[in-house]
Chain A
Amino acid sequence: MLTRFFIILLATSFSFLVNAGVKIEVWKTSAGSKVFFVENHDLPIIDVSISFRAGSARDTNEINGLASITNNLMLLGSDQINEKDLANKFTDIGAQLDSEFDQDKSGFSLRTLSEKKLEAFNLFKIVMHKPNFDSAILNREKIKYYASISQGETEPDAIANKAFLKAIYGSHPYALSGSGTINTIEKLTIKDLIYFYKSYYSSSNASIVIVGDLTVDEAKLFSEDLSNGLPEPTVIQPYTEVLIKSKEDIKISHPSSQAHLLFGAPIMKRGDPDFFPLYVGNYILGGGGFSSRLTEEVREKKGLVYSVYSYFMPLIEKGPFQVGLQTKKDQIDEALNLVKSTINKFISDGPSEKELQAAKDNLIGGFPMRLDSNKKILDYLTMMAFYDYPVDYLDTFSVSVNKVTTKQVKKAFQSRVDINQFSTIIVGIE
């Protein structure tokens, strides 16, 4: 998925007015970062995010954990200002600095009062441009990683998740746990972090989103500066393609009172042509809260679980379709069978017209709630900019949902979802 919708030069911005009245300006900085901007003066607040394709999919077996620990150390000291003083500088102007991290993305965000924007922007630039990567802090953080890794080995959720990713992704980096292993974390050095930063935190690999109380000129100036100080553009390898491997059925004992089930396979990428039929279909199958078939069958009719769900998590490469539940150990077989029969029935018959209409009513009728705060707008735009979504995605969302037919859902599920290829992980057998 390349930037086919973003052949846009600096200073020639395009605006798009979407349903909810969110007008998005788009441009590219001279150093090559993509920028999405929404001007909104209702509140004296500015939100900023910057994201890089520097998630755990950049890790390998040998350096597993490097992407995550780099993300982590970005906030722990910059420009020779130590960790504590830096954090206090943000606190002293009431600004909030945050980070996020997943398989695909390493991201950072800033929230500031608009009256403190200059100070806040300067601090944010320092954080992004001049990380200290202090070795004493690296060693201290390693200890936290070790503890969290070994704690995870005792928790049924974490055990199941790790086994599931391994089962469905095999040797693909999506199988790796973001926080790495004790052996690989131990070997990481400051040099590795600097190399990783220079390779993947480059201006051309960055997408920037700015929302709130500032003018487009101010946003352009800031995005230029923010982008310019990043490492020089580099040639970045695309993420490795996911090859579908054979399924695995794994049972792991655990003294917990419940058994935890994960069931699924890699299915959908971002930008997948079947996205809308699969997304709307999954709302009916297991995504739509109390109205979904899985909840109806497994929870409402039988009382077997508190929570049962299914979702597609589209990633840059094929992300998982996943079904999960927890139930008292002696009920796990019954619950798994019910999950399988419910999915099979959905795949063979598709949804009813009534179910499809209910799904559309919710997804379309609920659209205004997706964008009812600056924070939500920031989150949506961050996702869109990062995954190269067309800038009119929000504008066309309702139309795309509305076009989906029962036939399309059935066809998409029949051609893409094969539960005979699903791996099954159960943690907490008797």
Chain B
Amino acid sequence: MNLLKFFIITLFCSSLAIAEVHEKTLLNGLRVFVVEDHRSPVVVSQVWYRAGSIDEVNGKTGVAHVLEHMMFKGTKTTKPGEFSEIIAAAGGKENAFTGADYTCYFQQLEKSKLPIALKMEADRMENLVISEEEFNKEIKVVMEERRWRTDDKPTSQANELSQSLTFRTHPYRRPVVGWMNDLENMSYKDANEWYQDWYAPNNSILVVAGDVKSDEVFELANKYFGKIKKIDIKQRKPQLEPLQEGIRRATLKAPSKLGYIQMAYHAPALTKDLESNASEAYALEVLAGILSNTSTSRLHQSVVNDRGLALSASASYAMTTRGGPSLFELYATPAEGVTAGSVESALKDEIKKIINDGVTDVELERIKIGVIAGEVYQKDSVFYQAMLIGQLETMGYSHTLMEGYIDNIKKITSKQIQDVAKKYLNDDYLTVVTLDPQPLEPNKLPQGKPHAH
């Protein structure tokens, strides 16, 4: 039950084109997608709910993720933990993850076991039981998860700070795992409310990929999920982020030897019609690739290798999001003895170079080659193919986005990259968070003598 941070599609050059996708919508609104891949006798099944941390309200942050944990705690007809036991006994692997935009549950099985997974997923979509006793144990697990993922990891803390400063009104400001105080005050009733609000066939999709026949999967889906009633989905408010006017800065002090800098610029995600701002979104995507796709990309080559100012430097852009806004981000670990300020300037120098001089044809060509090869390589992973469909459809895009991806990347010119860099990578839309490393407590000598037994 892992929790994935923030936006998910950030890996450039794992291009988005995939095999043929079969699609059918059940009468209750559940949308089913099937990808046939007959290389191995296995299948992956994923149920995606359009319910993530951006749907939470203040005071109940983290409840999307807590519910994900509770989904393994039994239904009207199964005991806590039984879901996992049955999948394990079928030779399967299973897990779940929660993001800002969605929650996903998945199983990987030998192909004949697919009905077991579908039957149980359908059961817990409708019949989950959230007992106070189980909740009170599990919420402690989630608090340990937060301590481990965030509280004791300075760069995670810096990222949490950056998000909450970059977005002042949009719910992307909240950590997926939730604020500790909200977790401390959460009750099983909050989890149950969340389940009643969002867990329904018309707020979810099923993706099945592997050695299956689409018609048979549609039949199975109808058999198990078809009788679940649709519900009225609560209205979601847009909560648009007002335009940022002026740079924002924050510093985090935490025990560490090395510093860290995270620079986040507001930037648009691709619109859901796939058209209105496509050239800008794809230009930002290519820009992120040219800055940090490989070890010879600009940031690593210049800031790390040539100038020796940082130990690592990279860029990312999430081209697709459910919530609307996105970010173009730069991250670096300053070399020892180098200030975060010098690294910030060096990163900005690289942006300026692109704004002034554009990028070379060779760089553009490398991006295209990487995208085309990436399309072939990703066919090796059935899980990944299913994941792309699930993410895109849950975010509100059509999975057909994948079909045009390579062509759209190929069309991007140096001029378009200069334009988006100039328009969006502007100090006025920037939030800078730096980690100010603190020594560990001075008395950190080993306590208690090692002793022979």
Contact = CB atoms under 8 A, between A and B. Distances in A.
Interface residues of A, number: 78
B110 A365 contact: yes
Given A147-B336, A366-B93, A371-B40, A254 B440 contact: yes
A372 B93 CA distance: 13
Interface in A208-242: none
Nearest to B108: A369
Interface string B113-153: 10000000000000000000000111111111101100110
Contact of B84 (A87, A148, A249, A290): A290
A420 B137 CA distance: 31
Interface residues of B, number: 72
B81 A300 contact: yes
Interface stretch (A25-33, A270-278, A356-364): A356-364
A156, A288, A296 interface centre (most CB from chain B within 10 Å):
A156
Interface stretch (A41-49, A63-71, A124-132): A41-49
Nearest to B439: A154
A12 interface: no
A140 B308 contact: yes
Contacts of A362: 88-89, 91-92
Contacts of A247: 452-453
Nearest to A245: B452
B92, B140, B144 interface centre (most CB from chain A within 10 Å):
B144
B336 A150 contact: yes
Nearest to A146: B336
A290 B81 contact: yes
A364 B381 CA distance: 21
A328 B448 CA distance: 20
B296 A91 contact: yes
B40, B136, B446, B451 interface centre (most CB from chain A within 10 Å):
B40
Contacts of A420: 453
Interface stretch (B194-202, B349-357, B368-376): B368-376
A92, A154, A326, A371 interface centre (most CB from chain B within 10 Å):
A154
Interface stretch (B97-105, B218-226, B253-261, B413-421): B253-261
B41 A291 contact: no
Contacts of B144: 258, 303-306, 326-328
B335 interface: yes
Interface in A11-47: 20, 42-45
A302 B138 CA distance: 9
Sorted nearest first, the 9 A-B pairs with minimum C-beta distance are A365-B91, A94-B373, A303-B140, A372-B40, A366-B91, A290-B84, A306-B145, A303-B137, A248-B450
10 contacts: A84-B305, A146-B336, A246-B452, A250-B450, A289-B84, A290-B88, A291-B81, A307-B148, A368-B41, A374-B380
Interface of B: 39-42, 72, 80-81, 84-85, 88-93, 108-110, 113, 136-145, 147-148, 151-152, 255-258, 294-296, 301, 305, 308, 311, 333, 335-336, 365-366, 369-370, 372-374, 376-377, 379-382, 437, 440-441, 443-444, 446-448, 450-453
Interface of A: 20, 42-45, 83-84, 87-88, 91-96, 111, 113, 140, 143-144, 146-148, 150-151, 153-154, 156, 163, 167, 246-258, 288-291, 296, 299-307, 326-328, 358, 361-369, 371-375, 420-421, 429
